[in-house]
């Protein structure tokens, strides 16, 4: 590994994605700067208050929303969810359990079951 790889920087959008946070909800100085690998590691190991708060309450980016709801990102879109949601909004959806969410969770469960079946079939074939 060359020394220049240690000083690699990334765009704020990339760093936000790696941190699992919604970029528009981050502080302006984070959005306007660049993030080095060292800074990213520091944010991950010792998250500042703003990062802890964002991860806890949101708004969350769609991949996080999908994971918290147990659906795919495409499933979110089919359900009409195109924006970032707060933890409170996600909890309300889980409580209300609209029909689209029930359907998408069932679809996701089938996808996971099929993935396990294929993995086990391949493992048996390799054995």
Question: 30: Cβ–Cβ under 8 A, 6 or more apart, which residues?
Answer: 12, 15, 16
Residues 108 and 33: their CA atoms lie apart, in Å, by 37
Please report the pLDDT score of residue 127 as a whole number.
Answer: 81
For the segment 4-60, what is each residue's pLDDT rounded down to a tens digit? Answer: 444 688 999 999 999 999 999 999 999 998 999 999 999 999 999 999 999 999 999
For the segment 64-78, what is each residue's pLDDT rounded down to a tens digit? Answer: 999 999 999 999 999
Report the b/e string of 2-33 with b at 16+ CB within 10 A: eeeeeeeebebeebbeebebbbebbeeebeee
Threshold 0.85, pTM exceeds: no
Q: Output the CA angle 17-21-27, nearest 5 degrees.
A: 110
């Amino acid at each position: 590994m060359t020394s220049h790889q240690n000083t690699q920087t990334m765009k704020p959008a990339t760093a936000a994605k790696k941190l699992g946070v919604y970029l528009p909800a981050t502080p302006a100085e984070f959005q306007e700067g660049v993030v080095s690998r060292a800074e990213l590691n520091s944010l991950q190991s010792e998250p500042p208050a703003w990062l802890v708060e964002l991860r806890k309450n949101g708004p969350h980016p769609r991949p996080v929303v999908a994971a918290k709801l147990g659906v795919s990102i495409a499933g979110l879109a089919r359900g009409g969810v195109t924006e970032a949601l707060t933890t409170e909004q996600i909890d309300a959806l889980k409580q209300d359990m609209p029909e689209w969410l029930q359907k998408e969770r069932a679809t996701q469960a089938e996808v996971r079951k099929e993935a396990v079946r294929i993995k086990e079939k391949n493992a048996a074939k390799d054995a």
